[in-house]
Amino acid sequence: MIGVIDYGAGNTGSVMNALERLGAPARFARGPEELARDAPFDKILFPGDGHFGTTMASLESAGYTEALREWIRADRPFLGICIGLQALFENSEEAPGVPGLGVIRGTVKRFPGRKTPQIGWNSTRVISTAAGAGGRLFRGVPDNSFFYYIHSYYAACGERDAVTATAEYYLEYCSAVERGNCAAVQFHPEKSGAAGLVLLENWLRFF
């Protein structure tokens, strides 16, 4: 069973539809207690889009902040999508002074150009890792496949070995990370057609 974190601003509908299409049982987590060691979930998915500060405030008020940190530290399967990737980092220029989950070193920065957000399809370059090109998440996904993005900020990852894919928008930036059973992507696989479904299926199979 997959637990989906609903913090009130995520793009949860299309994520649930994609999981249903793949035949993966999923439901929304009812609270942080469901992320404890005796949790009913095998995997946690944290989808969404929105403001970094608002997201972190919502997680904190609902009690999810430390529960998510503990889940990831225990190396239990996790997938973050869009803001779900950015929240893994230490902080963001979008909300100065607001800490992220801090489970991956680095900060989230605003794109330097004036034309933001980046909205639409973008080519995604797969990086070679010890687990193969793109790690487990990108198995069977051709290099430079197009995924759907919508964001004004990007993750400047301080852990080079964790980066499994990059994209370009004004500059080359981290598009996906994978460390142990924690994975996250900046794009929206649930809106990315066949390539996105392959990526989600890889997460279901290999994590």
**Residues involved in catalysis:** 82, 188, 190
CA 198 to chain centre: 16
**CA-derived radius of gyration, the chain:** 15
- Nearest Cα neighbor of 131 from 178, 73, 175 is 178
Beta-carbon-side half-sphere exposure of residue 49 (alpha carbons within 13 Å): 19
